[in-house]
Amino acid sequence: MSKSLLFMACVVTSLLMIACGAPTNRNADVPAGEQIGIAECDNFIRAYETCVSSKVPEAARANLRASVTTWRSEWKKLADDPQTRGALASACQRQRELTRTSMQAYNCTW
């Protein structure tokens, strides 16, 4: 899988989860807080969760937490696959940069 295809898959998944708003049970196999095993992904998720918990108004948290649930689930699957693991660090870095802009509305920085 090419890096650009992996990146686009991450972006599309993220946007779909934000648009849909409600988490689903399909991600129940990856517990909240589980590590991906890729430092760039784990650091981003940790920073994002801290921002959501500490700076985002309660009314807006559910949708943002749904994004984390999806990222964690999808990235864990990609990390477990030797064919996609190598491209995951850069995909997580790109997702971090994309998300940084939208989270500035809540005064989140990372």
Residue 28 lies in a domain: no
Q: Which amino acid type is present at position 54?
A: S
**Number of structural domains found in the chain:** 1
pLDDT tens-digit series, residues 49-58: 999 999 999 9
pLDDT tens-digit series, residues 20-61: 443 443 344 445 678 999 999 999 999 999 999 999 999 999
Residue 100 lies in a domain: yes
- Whether the pLDDT of residue 7 is over 70: the answer is no
Q: Is the whole-model pTM more than 0.75?
A: no
Residue 12 lies in a domain: no
Residue 53 lies in a domain: yes
Residue 22 lies in a domain: no
Residue 17 lies in a domain: no
Q: Which residue has the tokens 């918990």?
A: 53
Report residue 67's pLDDT band, with 50, 70 and 90 as the boundaries: very high
The domain in which residue 57 lies consists of: 3-7+33-106
- Whether the pLDDT of residue 79 is over 70: the answer is yes
Give the separation between CA 57 and CA 16, rounded to whole angstroms. Answer: 21
Residue 25 lies in a domain: no
Comparing C-alpha atoms, which of 90, 88, 110 is closest to residue 101? 110
The secondary structure of residue 109, as a DSSP letter, is -
